[in-house]
Amino acid sequence: MEILDFQPKSWVEPFRIKTIAPLRKISYEERLSALERASYNLFMLRSEDVFIDLLSDSGTSAMSENQWSAMMRGDESYAGSSSFYRFEKSVKDITRFMHIIPTHQGRSAEHILFSTICKPGDVIPNNFHFDTTQANVESSGGDPLNLAISEANYPHLEHPFKGNIDLERLQQTLEEVGTEQIPCVMLTVTNNAVGGQPVSMANIRAVSALCRSYGVPFFLDACRFAENAWFIKQREDGYADRTPLEIAQEMFQYADGCTMSAKKDGLTNIGGFLALNDTELAEKCKQKLILIEGFPTYGGLAGYDMEAIAVGLQEVLQEDYLRYRVESVATLGQKLLDADIPIVRPVGGHAIFVDASTMLPHIPQHQYPAQALGIALYLSAGIRTVELGSVAFARKDSEGREQAAPLELLRLALPRRVYTRSHLDYIADALIHLKHNAAHIQGVRITWEPEQLRHFTARYALCLPSNTEV
Ligand code: F0G
């Protein structure tokens, strides 16, 4: 009798646990000395000193039994590996791009692309370049231009597709800069830096039309394409009855190519690719690939890595997986909102972004409130997160003065298929505890930084409360 068919009110993990990795929470004193050893940079902590690791959703997925068993088929031939052809087919079934170039992760795909198409003085518009994309454009002498819609600058403003690019500003850029100096336009789906926010199909379609009318290639940064497809299915008219695969295929159909980190929506621990239709450009990229990654049928990967990606790309588009994935992040977000913790709204696909400036109004922007909050969350609960504010995204002007990032966000990135509902409860409770004790959290200053991508290796010192600082 159908009436007995139980429909759960909330999401359930669509998997059971088969192998476990033990977690140990070290003491407060041990966490304090671990932080000091790490110069207060959470990237510098040893993972064994971390209880719950929300530093990144990249390369941190739990793989399935199907992925592990496919890996046993890995063909490690130097050239023409059958694993490559299975990988290529899996990527082509979704993207339909003609040339699939395997790389060891997303940033090498970016490096190969931008060092080939971007020359000094060029401009690469995007909704928002992620840190490695920004750095790869800059290292080719280009200017990475972020053109997210203005709503993205307001963490508390609800918008179903807050990852969209501002089409008017894009057109204005194409007019003013001129197509000679815009080797491509990019869209990052979902838009990681402003909250894991999706881009609508209408926006992707419009960017594609604009780029085609100006004769400028259009690339997707597709790291989280499946999560983006799920949001389109949930929120955009006309897509509710389409499968995530069909939606993803349509997204890719509007683009001329993509860069991809399989460490996210490939559900693997390593891997990526560059995919494109332009045969001449693909040849140039393959020559560079041979120089820095490897032969075109393995790039920077082992045969077994390509097998894991081939399967992961299919699993990531399954509806029960995507429902669990996106709704579990939303559940954590809702708990925080219920406790009046300021987070980017609506909740994105892979992470919660806490608005640290609002949560810690006593810490000025130049004392990096999101970094300060990240340090406090580790110290109080052993949870590791990442700053995505002015440490990661500030730009320096021509006189070397720092231009603060628009938002000071602390990202809690959820690895895929790794943590359970009770881990989410623990995370929420820890943040609520910090909210009640916010006045005790101190700002930081940077005592050393490298020239590029400083957040990975910078060292910090705690600032004294501002009224006592000398
Ligand atoms: N593009 C986006 C939108 C990303 O989020 C990342 C990585 C990359 C490109 C680069 O890919 O790591 O495989 O080289 N983001 C990770 C993160 C590191 O934590 O968000 P990669």
* Domain ranges (residues) in the chain: 28-50+319-462, 65-315
Ligand 1 center–CA 221 separation, angstroms: 9
Amino acid sitting at position 216: V
Evaluate whether 174 touches 184 at the Cβ level (below 8 Å): no
- The answer to whether 298 and 81 have CB atoms below 8 angstroms apart is yes
- pTM confidence score: 0.95
CA 104 / ligand 1 centre spacing (Å) = 12
Rounded Cα distance, 245 and 316, in Å: 9
CA angle, residues 256, 259, 263, in degrees to nearest 5: 145
Cα(95)–Cα(465) distance, integer angstroms: 52
pLDDT value at residue 470: 36
Q: Which amino acid makes up residue 361?
A: P
Q: Which of 103, 107, 386 most suits a substitution to test ligand 1, by most atoms within 8 Å of the C-beta?
A: 107
Under 8 Å between Cβ of 137 and 315? no
Q: Which helix (H) or strand (E) holds 125?
A: strand 123-126
**Which mutation among 105, 137, 264 tests ligand 1's pocket best, with the greatest number of atoms within 8 A of CB?**
264
DSSP 81: -
Which pLDDT score, from 0 to 100, does residue 297 have?
A: 98
Task: List pLDDT tens digits, range 260-314.
Answer: 999 999 999 999 999 999 999 999 999 999 999 999 999 999 999 999 999 999 9
Q: How far apart are CA 411 and CA 153, in angstroms?
A: 16
pLDDT band, residue 406 (cuts 50/70/90): confident
* Ligand 1 centre distance from Cα of residue 165 (Å): 19
d(CA 84, CA 297): 6
Residue among 405, 369, 439, 470 at smallest CA distance from 129? 405
Whole-angstrom Cα distance, residue 66 to residue 363?
48
Report cis status (omega within 30 of 0) of the bond before 190: yes
Distance CA 241, CA 236 (A): 11
Residues 128 and 190: their CA atoms lie apart, in Å, by 10
CATH of domain 65-315: 3.40.640.10
Q: Which residues contact 380 (CB under 8 A, 6 or more apart)?
A: 430, 433, 434, 437
How large is the average pLDDT for residues 391-396? 86
CB 216, CB 174: distance < 8 Å: yes
In eight-state DSSP terms, residue 197 is B
Classify domain 28-50+319-462 at the CATH class level: alpha beta
Q: 1-23 pLDDT, tens per residue?
A: 789 999 988 999 999 999 999 99
Q: Which of 263, 305, 352 for a ligand 1 pocket mutation test, highest count of atoms within 8 Å of Cβ? A: 263
pLDDT tens string 183-238: 999 999 999 988 999 999 999 999 999 999 999 999 999 999 999 999 999 999 99
Q: Which protein residues touch ligand 1 with a CB less than 6 Å away?
A: 56, 58, 105-107, 130, 132-133, 188, 192, 221, 223, 261, 263, 272, 413
pLDDT more than 90, % of the chain: 93
Ligand 1 midpoint to CA 307 (Å): 21
CA of 466 to the centre of ligand 1 (A): 35
Residues facing 275 on adjacent strands: 100, 258
Res 411 pLDDT > 50: yes
Name the token pair of 370. Answer: 């999101």
Instruction: Give the whole-angstrom CA distance, residue 458 versus residue 206.
Output: 40
Nearest CA to ligand 1 atom 21: 106
Ligand 1 atom nearest to CA at 413: 19
Burial class (CB in 10 A: 0-12, 13-18, 19+), 167: middle
pLDDT the model gives residue 131: 86
- Give Cβ neighbours of residue 359 (< 8 Å, ≥ 6 apart): 341, 342, 369, 373, 435, 438
Distance CA 168, CA 147 (A): 9
